[in-house]
Amino acid sequence: MKRLYITIFTLLVVSSIYAGDPARKGTTGADQLLIPVGAKGIATGGAFLSTLSGLESIYYNPAGLDLSGGTEAMFSYMNYVADINVSYFAASTKIGDVGSFALSLKTLDFGDIPITTVDFPDGTGSTYSPGYLIFALTYSKVLTDRISIGTNIKVISETIMNTSATGFGFDAGVQYRFREGISIGASIKNIGANMKYSGEDLQGRTAIPGTDPGTVGGTYQIVAEEFQIPSYFELSAAYKYNFNEQNDLIFASTFVANNALEDLMNFGLQYGYMDVFFLRGGYNMLLSETSSESIFGFTMGAGVDYNISEEISAVFDYAFRDVKEFPTSNHIFTVKLAFQ
């Protein structure tokens, strides 16, 4: 069994060798995969890779899902940038000693976009709205009291009017917990085949050169270029310090090695009171000297975990993320119900 743990961790570390190339900016697609979800994870800057558990862990490190030990349902909403809203729904359950399974869905709402043409540059009066969604199946299992593993299998769909692209992605993660309050985690995200657009809107008609204007000459087919999905590797460490039975503090940092973006260092902090009330903060720092500052600044948030009964608990989390170059910042709301 120890060889299995070593093999999984080694594969995750080796994969980072191919990451961190800002020169490849703009060469990948499906960037909705990079939009984080969940107020708890966003408020702590995405740094809690080794400590998140339950449904909050699916996006960051699926290895934490099985730590919840019950059935959960979660909904999260974020106003992103450029009037784009992100909704996320997930549900999970534990099946005996087999492990935990979850289904999740992330959708982007772009609003109604006016349709313009050469003859009507101000709009035809009609509108369209792109449909971007990610559907995921997650499996996680606690192998020992210290080690847990998990994986996501994702379907990525993008639709713009009569043109669409579909792809598949794979995530894998591991968490290791020391007895001294120290934990480490690693994950690899968005490993999958290239995506490519196709559909009726890539077909058109053109006139034969030399004929009268308006004469229909034939049809043409636009051949769309394939694009990769944005893969990356993360390695994280966290330390939890208990002041007493009621107060604790968790500090975590995560190194993010991106395949087609700058590498990042994420930092997060959480103060907890009686495991009921939480205050959180975080920051993302670019590691490339040739790059400008990230458009996302500091993050902060708070949360309440309230036990309705011995078997049911409700969680409400809020997060704020500063956004530069845009008139509005991100506000994230998350509600979760847990059944033991």
Is 50 contained in some domain?
Answer: yes
Per-chain mean pLDDT for the chain: 88
Nearest CA-CA partner of 109 in 88, 127, 130: 130
pLDDT tens digits, one per residue of 203-227: 765 555 555 555 555 566 788 889 9
**Would you say residue 74 lies in a domain?**
yes
8 confidence band (pLDDT: 50, 70, 90) = low
**Three-state DSSP class for 337?**
strand
- pLDDT (average), residues 84-96: 96
Among the ranges given (10-14, 276-280, 292-296, 304-308), the one the predictor scored with the smallest mean pLDDT: 10-14
| pLDDT of 4 over the 50 cut | no
**What pLDDT was estimated at residue 220?**
67
Residue 213 falls inside a structural domain: no
The answer to whether the CB of 110 falls within 8 A of the CB of 136 is: no
Measure Cα distances from 140 to 1, 59, 61, 96, 251 in Å. Answer: 17, 13, 10, 12, 24
- Domain tally for the chain? 1
| Banded pLDDT at 27 (limits 50, 70, 90) | confident
- Residue 82 gets the label, from left (phi > 0), alpha (psi -120 to 50) or beta, of left
In a domain, 220, yes or no: no
Half-sphere exposure of 230 (CA within 13 A, CB side): 22
Instruction: CATH number of the domain at 273, please.
Output: 2.40.160.60
Token output for 281: 């903060």
**Quick check: is 219 in a domain?**
no
User: Distance between CA 45 and CA 280 in Å, rounded?
Assistant: 9
pLDDT digits (tens, 9 = 90+) for 109-118: 999 889 888 8
User: For residue 43, what are the domain limits?
Assistant: 2-194+232-339
For residue 205, tell me if it sits in a domain: no
pLDDT more than 90, % of the chain: 65
Is 301 within a domain? yes
C-alpha distances (whole Å) from 186 to each of 50, 170, 172 are: 7, 14, 8
Is residue 32 included in any domain, yes or no? yes
